[in-house]
Chains A and B, each alone.
Chain A
Amino acid sequence: MTKEADKPGAEEAGKTPLLVVSSSPHTHSGASVRRIMLDVVLAMLPAVAVSLWLFGLDALRLLTVCVAACVLFEYAARKIMKRDAGIGDLSAVVTGILLAFNLPPGLPSWMAVIGCFAAIVIAKQVFGGIGYNPFNPALVGRAALLASFPVQMTTWAAPSRLSAALEPARNTLDAMTMATPLGWTKTSLAAGSQLPIGMNGGVAWDFLAGFKPGCIGEVSGLALLLGAAYLFYRRCIYWQVPAFFIGAVVLFSGALWLDDPAHNMPPLFHVLSGGVILGAFFMATDMVTSPVTKTGMVIFGAGCGALTVLIRKWGGYPEGVSFAILIMNSLTPLINRGTKPRIFGHAKRNGRK
């Protein structure tokens, strides 16, 4: 009997109360899009904290600019299209943080704003807004920036703490910037040199903790896994996508490594470097752009993982996570169509045992 005033049925409480008549069910789990988005934001907070620690004001600047720009673009786009201003669902905040997570720390703010425009206006609102976008908006924003500003998007500032194994990767002319582990590996191999990084327990721990150059949100696998555990707990993601994403990365990169360990990094390196953990738990799991069936999620996750290694090994870019996810996004409707579950009672094994 709380908050009666703004609820239907109570307008004339005391006199002739009006009854609400509607179709069943008459109760609800309480879930809402806003709550889901809030959960995703909460789940990203550990990674936000680590990014602030490792990259300082640059991380703060990019996160603030991206969130503000995404929310503003969303609001303006809805207004111009004369639709309900739908910023209350917090989905633009999620896109803003995710896009910032996918940017190198030194990227100028105005470039980030262009990325936000691509993400919110082009990838999302032009298609009709939340629920209708075929591609992950944050990844479209990143792809647009990578195509438009290839130099700035691949210039990496060293974090405040750096794994000793990566010290030689510092730029000889400018000690402030350096190559990412993936980039370093790619250029070394292209130059015909040996693999630059030897994976051991210490290096793996440094990589997992985040002591490596990279996009501000992707470096700390540990912080991301902490957030992912919360998303599982809140039922915002299903295990199939991240498990098969990472599983496919391990299998594919493992096969390459076993075949030719002199020219391929071990699977552990592939999982812990670049955007695999961020992508597998926070971006491939985007509800709108990933399949709804469990089998579909398996195929989708495995496809993301396989394409990631394919691009890293043979593609032009050292990193392939975002393109892998975008390619799989485009296949989501097909995957849904091809993996419809067997409906109860439609079985061939019908009938009596």
Chain B
Amino acid sequence: MSIVKAMFRAVGGVHPDYRKSATAQKAVREMPLPALLRVSTAQHLGAPSRPVAKKGDAVLRGARLAEPAGFISAAVHSPTSGVVKAIADAPTPTGATAPAIEIEPDGRDAWDPSIAPKPDWQTMSSKNLAALVVEAGIVGMGGAGFPTHVKLSPPPNKPIDTLILNGAECEPYLTADHRLMIERAEQVWAGAEIIRHILGAKTVRVAIEDNKPDAVRSMERAMAGAAGDVAIAVLKTSYPQGAEKQQIYGITGREVPTGGLPMDVGCVVENVGTALAIFDAIVNGRPLTERITTVTGSPVADPSNVLARVGTPYGDLVSFCGGTSGPVAKWISGGPMMGFAQHSLETPTTKTTSGLVALAPGDLTAFASTPCISCSRCVTACPMKLLPCELSQILEAEDYAAAEALNVLDCIECGCCAFECPSRRPLVQHMRRGKARAMARRRAEEAKKKGK
């Protein structure tokens, strides 16, 4: 076990105002159960899960409420014991709506008897362990919500030699992963050992930015007795160090090919929160029903790291943090670089709600499509080495074919370009539109091929 510096300098990136000090030193507080939980069926990337619970059902904590609707999908479990009041549409953090299972807690918070701890996981096969991860409904908790079992079952022709545990938390304001690494380092590391066992990965790197030295020390203690090629990789603080492709490059020098996955270069990246969820799922037998969310921003009265059940309405989270002490102009689910602006606080939390950030009117940035002055700051900032300025002008002219030729699909929507743009052009919006059109065109082409 050692501490290494990330060897390769990832290109691009920006240095936003991090504003983490409001919550970085605050221990996680567990929130009491709200009056009603709304458990969404669209908490992950891929197909929304299919509800199996019915209105009126009495359920216990950990009972399955919805089942995966395909390989890239995930199960959803009851966050407490209670009664299913309804299955009705609820807003999702991305601004869409999806069916949600509404649970009225009975106050007992009793676990379902099906919960089966597996403390002897070392003796189990990869396949069986991965099956337990599917059972537990675990998805990537860093933000994207990619179903974890997909990453844990690479095809035989793609062996994994390196597991990277992502504790970079490069988004401003957020400190949920930071606190997790300080307060639950042993469990996080135990989760990493389980993932390593499943993948048969020889090397493990825990990626932490150098603005979190206390997290580095805490993880170092937890990993003291670890065997094999295990180290903490300290990353220079910069956004987006937590982006999967950039992190793999920084630590291993390998570039995930365009359109490919980390497994194409022998790597798997898991968020530290995901590692903890896997520990809980295997060793304690508990499905994923809670997570830490950083509730912060200058208008929040008592900014906190909150351990809350999945399905807790945002409004209840805010009340638990003392409500707001000033006007809020924008609520963001996630961080300010890639998070989603909310139109109401009725939205329930999901497995990926890393933060809820309030912006005061003075914190707002207005974007406007004023002409590009070719300052090339976006070109310097783009971690994918795209030409955002050129793409944006092409997309403004709605020339989608040209945008596709300029590789708009490689954009990771990190927001570095728009963050730097002195003309305040809505570059990420342009890219999203270009990507959607390019994807639609590809799908249409594939359908045509199949039809022939």
Contacts and interface: CB of A to CB of B under 8 A. Distances in A.
Interface of A: 1-4, 7-10, 13-14, 17, 19-29, 31-33, 35-36, 128-132, 235, 238, 287-294, 336, 340-347, 349-353
Contact of B387 (A24, A292, A353): A292
A3 B361 contact: yes
A27 B361 contact: no
Given A31-B421, A344-B255, A345-B260, A130 B373 contact: yes
Given A4-B361, A350-B255, A25 B419 contact: yes
A24 B339 contact: yes
Contacts, number: 201
B374 A290 contact: yes
A24 B337 contact: yes
Contacts of A4: 327, 361-362
A19 B341 contact: yes
A25 B254 CA distance: 28
Interface stretch (B41-49, B61-69, B364-372): B364-372
B60 to A, nearest CB: 36
A69 B75 CA distance: 69
B389 interface: yes
A352 B419 contact: no
Contacts of B420: 29, 31
Contact of B390 (A129, A292, A344): A292
Interface residues of B, number: 81
A257 to B, nearest CB: 34
Contacts of B387: 292-293, 336, 340-341
A101 to B, nearest CB: 20
B385 A33 contact: no
Given A22-B341, A25-B337, A31 B327 contact: no
Nearest to B410: A343
B410 A20 contact: no
A235 B422 CA distance: 12
Given A21-B343, A32-B422, A1 B327 contact: yes
Chain A residues touching B, majority SS: loop
A128 B337 CA distance: 32
Nearest to A132: B371
Which of A26, A128, A344 has the most chain B CB within a 10 Å cutoff?
Answer: A26
A343 B379 CA distance: 11
B34 interface: no
Given A4-B362, A345-B245, A345-B260, A353 B341 contact: no
Contacts of A292: 374, 376, 379, 387, 389-390
A341 B382 CA distance: 11
B284 interface: no
Contacts of A2: 362
A20 B338 contact: no
A24 B375 contact: no
B328 A131 contact: no
Given A10-B361, A25-B338, 10 more contacts: A7-B364, A8-B361, A17-B328, A25-B337, A25-B415, A33-B373, A344-B384, A345-B257, A345-B259, A349-B255
A345 B258 contact: yes
Contacts of A1: 298-299, 326-327, 360-362
Interface in B326-371: 326-332, 336-344, 357, 359-367, 370-371
Contacts of A130: 371, 373
11 contacts: A2-B362, A8-B361, A9-B329, A19-B342, A19-B344, A23-B341, A23-B428, A26-B332, A27-B337, A293-B387, A345-B260
Interface stretch (B10-18, B109-117, B175-183, B437-445): B10-18
Interface string B411-443: 001010011111110101100100000000000
Contacts of B370: 33, 131
A73 to B, nearest CB: 18
B422 A293 contact: no
A241 to B, nearest CB: 11
A290 B376 CA distance: 10
Contact of B331 (A19, A341, A349): A19
Contacts of A3: 361-362
Contact of B424 (A24, A32, A128, A290): A32
A104 B331 CA distance: 57
Nearest to A336: B390
Nearest to B385: A341
Nearest to B411: A343
A128 B364 contact: no
Given A27-B419, A36-B375, A7 B329 contact: yes
Nearest to B379: A292
Contacts of B365: 25-28
